[in-house]
Structure 1
Amino acid sequence: MAAHPQAARGLSGAVTVLAVALVVLALLLPNKREQFHAAAFLRIPVEALLGAVVLVALPRGPRTVVAALAGTALGALTVLNLADIEFNQYLGRSFDVVLDWPLLGDARSYLADTLGGTVALLAAVAAVLLVLALLAVPALAAVRVGTILGRHRTRATQGLLLACAVWMTCSSLNVRLDGIPVASGHTVTMLRYHAQALRSTLRDERAFARTARADAFGGTPGDQLLPDLRGKDMVFTFVESYGRSAIEDPVEAPGVDRTLDASTRALARAGFHAASGWLTSATYGGGSWLGHSTFMSGLWIDNQNRYRTVTSGDRLTLTEAFRRTGAWDTVGIMPGVQKGWPEAKWYGLEKVYDALRLGYRGPKFSWSTMPDQYALQAFQRLAHGGKHAKPLASFVILTSSHQPWAPIPKLVPWDELGDGSVFRGIEAAGTPPQEVIANATRSRQEYGRSIQYSVTALTQWLERYGTDDTVLVLLGDHQPIARVSGDHASRDVPVSIVAKDPKVLERISGWGWTAGLRPAHDAPVWPMSAFRDRFLTAYGSVPHPTKG
């Protein structure tokens, strides 16, 4: 470049401008997708001014070290902000730096099940390289800026004085662009936010263990639990991602609402009646096990640490309550479980049929190991329809409405299900997940179709195999991801109780629920954690509290 000094100076200047831009952009990066506006990046970050003052004052050696460390820290904050963006998009909350690392492994498994192992591996490698780049590039940029500031200390000092005066003027006058303050302290705010989240996580870990031990029905003997349901076959069924948006979103609701209304009428012809309301789930977009455990335990379980704490204890779950009476056998139908599941003991399940024990020989439908219709037929064949000395209390998880909602199974005649091989042609002719996974409109459409499929399969099973003593509790575990449910959607999910015996619904007549499978918009909304105690009380259980 010595032969072309003007080109060298131009390149050096361009690199410096790029370095300054990278530092400023990193300092102003929002942690939510909806905050990405041009005005958000046209502010003056006070952190840049303070950092520049320090770098100007330091001698060359310490300046380089401080700039590198500050740039690396800024890169780490950028990684956290980007993680927040994705977690808010998919799970409706920010990334928890203590508890959420295991979910990254789950994300890789999801990609492998959905798009294949090669794509998952490439995505994992790309993610690692991106993190390394996000740590290294801001560090190099900060060192470059520090070098230029030190080389031109007088002019840098003059420029900083002017920039500080402008920042203080904008701050005192509350100057805004599109409602966003020009004088920014965004990075300090984000650091405080993450620090507060970390402190809250650590405090919650200690407090929740005491809360979990305090149980209104923890000491209730078996003969005082659920006397008004004796002789009933209880079926607690979760439909994956079945949220309020399925019933009220303008794209998804028309088809789902028609399905719910048609299923209500079909069940009525078979002698069944339903009542429905809303529950606010402890999770959103994913983490189904948090919703399951919240509903069954009566505790608000919204993170992995709470889940580990409660499942390692002896908190009474609904299925354990039925088992404790001695009047029911308990069984779990878990098509999504493909490895050891020690939580079965905590749930009080005496027998569990996972993906390997349900006898399915057909194709996977993306993440879902088998169609819901097959899982329900296997439930009937292996447990519900067999001879047993006691009624069953069953815990059934349906998975066909799991994202990416492609391909979606189709219903086949129940007597043709066999070992599931009949689904090979249906899966092969279905929509490939890559055509849906990145398309918000298609995702919403296919999500609605998947809920229609799951609800229809379940209600057809009830029509076909339900008896005078069958009682079904049907609900969603959480809302679908924000790309489908919309930004700032509620965490509400529908819940229904279905039975032939009118006395079953009479016991909950004071709940104010809507008749049928479709809850009214203004039907009561409870925290999901409130259901267990209300259900136990409604059906005659006597509280015997244990202390925390």
Structure 2
Amino acid sequence: MPSGPHPTPRRGSRVVSAVAVAAVVAAPLLASALSRGSPDALLAVPVEPLAVALLLLAVAARGVRMLVAGLFGLTVMLALAVAALDLAFTATIDRRFDPVQDAGAVAAAVGVVADATGPAMAGLAVGGAALALVAGAAGLAAAALRVGRAADVAAPTGRAVVTALTGVWIAAALTGAQLVPGVPFAAGPAASVLTQASARAVQSVHDDAAFERALGSDPLAAADDSRLLAGLEGKDVVFAFVESYGEVALRPAPFTDRIAATLRAGEDQLARDGYTARSALLESPTFGGVSWLAHATLQSGVWVDSQGKYDRLTSGDRRTLTSLFSAAGWRTVAVVPSNTEPWPLASTFYGYDAVLDARNSGYRGPGFGYARMPDQFTWQVFHDHAASTGATPVMAEIDLVSSHTPWTPTPRLVPWHRLGDGTVFEGHGDGQPSPMEVWGDPDRVRDRYAESLAYSLGAAFSYLREHSQRDLVLVLVGDHQPARIVSGSGADRDVPVTVIAQDPAVFEQISSWGWQPGLHPSADAPRWRMDEFRDRFVAAFSG
């Protein structure tokens, strides 16, 4: 330990030392506050600064002191990064970050940001985050060293203060003292964030084992292809996922009036055109985003609630709705308007015969946020493809993404004969607020969500009116609830699902389901988990 008299610190030096103390104390508490999503976590005494101060007081070697300070800075910044991811995941998909499962989801989120704001802004955001992580770790290490030097200069008073605070922390920990209910006064905030993340990682390993068992027991693996889906023979069957169409859209609220009006008008129109609709609710494996997990769950009949499980599922050969329809004689197609690159899983896992996306749909109009083409044009792309197959029935999954976050700008419906190559949509976004303008006000976010969803649903009903088809069976289903800023804190994971068709025989085969008439399932409608849908659907229509 340094010995001998110490010079009296100047006033400026004392200010710098006070700032350093504030930094090393506040940073771990901030990690806890971010992870919990509550400022209450700031009302505690963190153990990490006390531990680093004791270590720095106990060693004299400069290299060792720098190592201790560096580890402190790195650990706290890592905890802050995990806590920020916890906050982001909770706000968007309603669960905390899982280090084992969610690396791919983080990369996908960057892609969504790039779609909404452009690759340059997304790259700037990623680079800025990495720079902040490095600079923060270095800054906290320097602050910790400054605190250690200040304690040396103030010795023995410095040692006495650190020792006294440590004693207070231990006493508070032993007695369970709390300034705020549920928040221990003696806390280990950074350590707690990292420990909880590690626990989630361990739990993921156990969940993965159960998932592997589910993958290995497919009840349709040996199904008789000659009897598959015979009750739908000769019919085009469409599974249309409506982005962010959650149960919250069905419940009374000021911002849902527009959606309710669209559903009422849709019901009236379908009835006039000879259609019947039956609706229920499905529990989605995801919330607020990561739509492909819901698609995979509905298609495969297993619960896919993370990117890691999705990767394992799609690397195997479990039968999907698509591959089952293909085995039964349907031509299968995926209509994914926001895909801009090849999608190998379309053929290697799902079993599609064709993929129609942004590269080959002939769209030349403007994009609308995440949506590279309006849903109305997407329906026309599907219709043109189905017409080109002749007498062979088509099974399709269509992704309707005009209601994808950030929910602005929104296109307008145009006369179907004017669609052309989509240039008719030029100017539809003019005068509408940008995502940056909208997301500063939760009320505006909810209003824009409702407008985009009403457009997406309205485009589907308009398609059915324009192209009335007795031999069409449409399953209109939400993929997940919208983010918490729209759904609110009490929302569950349920989404609407509706079967629409003109042929009464379709509904005779699903009468045992007990689904409700119309497009608007009530709160007491039947509720299934989304992974139950595949087997029930195949059983109902396979005799």
What is the CA distance between 1:471 and its match in structure 2?
Answer: 0.8
The structure 1 residue matched to 2:413, chosen from 411, 414, 417, is 411
Give the equivalent residue in structure 2 for 1:212: 215
1:63 and 2:65 aligned: yes
Counterpart contact for 1:75–1:137, Cα < 8 Å: no
Give the equivalent residue in structure 2 for 1:200: 203
Give the equivalent residue in structure 2 for 1:146: 148
Give the equivalent residue in structure 2 for 1:27: 28
Once the two structures are superposed, residues 101-158 of structure 1 have per-residue CA deviations (whole angstroms, 9 ceiling, x without a partner) of 3444433433333223443333233222222222222222222222223444432332
Give the equivalent residue in structure 2 for 1:234: 237
The structure 1 residue matched to 2:344, chosen from 318, 342, 345, is 342
Structure 2 distance, partners of 1:384, 1:32, is 53
What is the CA distance between 1:352 and its match in structure 2?
Answer: 1.4
Aligned counterparts, 1:122-137, within 5 A: 122-137=124-139
Counterpart contact for 1:60–1:150, Cα < 8 Å: no
Once the two structures are superposed, residues 480-500 of structure 1 have per-residue CA deviations (whole angstroms, 9 ceiling, x without a partner) of 222222235322111111111
What is the CA distance between 1:33 and its match in structure 2?
Answer: 5.2
Counterpart contact for 2:33–2:41, Cα < 8 Å: no
Give the equivalent residue in structure 1 for 2:90: 88
Once the two structures are superposed, residues 179-236 of structure 1 have per-residue CA deviations (whole angstroms, 9 ceiling, x without a partner) of 1322223333222211112223344445533421210111112113222222221111
The structure 2 residue matched to 1:259, chosen from 258, 262, 276, is 262
Closer/same/farther in 2, CA of residues 43 and 429 from structure 1, 3 Å limit: closer
Structure 1 distance, partners of 2:245, 2:402, is 11
TM-score (normalizing by structure 1) = 0.91
1:521 and 2:523 aligned: yes
Instruction: For residue 497 of structure 2, give the secondary structure of its aligned residue in structure 1.
Output: strand
Closer/same/farther in 2, CA of residues 147 and 104 from structure 1, 3 Å limit: same
Give the equivalent residue in structure 2 for 1:51: 52
Structure 2 distance, partners of 1:185, 1:512, is 52
Give the equivalent residue in structure 1 for 2:108: 106
The one-letter amino acid paired with 1:116 is: G
1:505 and 2:507 aligned: yes
1:186 and 2:185 aligned: no
Alignment root-mean-square deviation, CA: 2.3
Counterpart contact for 1:78–1:134, Cα < 8 Å: no
Once the two structures are superposed, residues 241-283 of structure 1 have per-residue CA deviations (whole angstroms, 9 ceiling, x without a partner) of 1111222262432211121122112101111111111111112
Give the equivalent residue in structure 1 for 2:3: none
Closer/same/farther in 2, CA of residues 31 and 185 from structure 1, 3 Å limit: closer
Consecutive unaligned residues in structure 2, runs of 5 or more: 1-6
Structure 2 distance, partners of 1:162, 1:271, is 80
Counterpart contact for 2:75–2:190, Cα < 8 Å: no
Instruction: For residue 162 of structure 1, give the secondary structure of its aligned residue in structure 2.
Output: helix
Give the equivalent residue in structure 1 for 2:333: 331
Give the equivalent residue in structure 1 for 2:379: 376
What is the CA distance between 1:457 and its match in structure 2?
Answer: 0.5
What is the CA distance between 1:83 and its match in structure 2?
Answer: 1.9
Structure 2 distance, partners of 1:503, 1:33, is 54
Instruction: For residue 277 of structure 2, give the secondary structure of its aligned residue in structure 1.
Output: strand
Consecutive unaligned residues in structure 1, runs of 5 or more: 1-5, 542-548
The one-letter amino acid paired with 1:254 is: D
Give the equivalent residue in structure 1 for 2:533: 531
Counterpart contact for 2:40–2:180, Cα < 8 Å: yes
Percent of paired sites with the same residue: 39
The one-letter amino acid paired with 2:231 is: D
Counterpart contact for 1:245–1:252, Cα < 8 Å: no
Counterpart contact for 2:267–2:519, Cα < 8 Å: yes
Closer/same/farther in 2, CA of residues 7 and 244 from structure 1, 3 Å limit: farther
Give the equivalent residue in structure 1 for 2:399: 397
What is the CA distance between 1:323 and its match in structure 2?
Answer: 0.8
Structure 2 distance, partners of 1:172, 1:526, is 47
What is the CA distance between 1:444 and its match in structure 2?
Answer: 0.9
Counterpart contact for 2:408–2:435, Cα < 8 Å: yes
The one-letter amino acid paired with 1:525 is: R
* Between 166-175 and 503-512, the greater mean CA deviation after superposition: 166-175
The one-letter amino acid paired with 2:74 is: T
Structure 2 distance, partners of 1:145, 1:331, is 64
What is the CA distance between 1:38 and its match in structure 2?
Answer: 4.8
Instruction: For residue 496 of structure 1, give the secondary structure of its aligned residue in structure 2.
Output: strand
Instruction: For residue 13 of structure 1, give the secondary structure of its aligned residue in structure 2.
Output: helix
* Between 354-363 and 11-20, the greater mean CA deviation after superposition: 11-20
What is the CA distance between 1:300 and its match in structure 2?
Answer: 1.0
Closer/same/farther in 2, CA of residues 109 and 46 from structure 1, 3 Å limit: closer
Instruction: For residue 252 of structure 1, give the secondary structure of its aligned residue in structure 2.
Output: helix
Once the two structures are superposed, residues 368-388 of structure 1 have per-residue CA deviations (whole angstroms, 9 ceiling, x without a partner) of 11000011012112x223352
Once the two structures are superposed, residues 44-97 of structure 1 have per-residue CA deviations (whole angstroms, 9 ceiling, x without a partner) of 123333333333222243233212222222121111111221222222222233
Instruction: For residue 297 of structure 2, give the secondary structure of its aligned residue in structure 1.
Output: helix
Structure 2 distance, partners of 1:186, 1:251, is 40
Closer/same/farther in 2, CA of residues 337 and 508 from structure 1, 3 Å limit: same
What is the CA distance between 1:293 and its match in structure 2?
Answer: 0.6
Structure 2 distance, partners of 1:380, 1:252, is 32
What is the CA distance between 1:172 and its match in structure 2?
Answer: 4.3
Structure 1 distance, partners of 2:346, 2:172, is 59
What is the CA distance between 1:314 and its match in structure 2?
Answer: 1.0
1:296 and 2:290 aligned: no
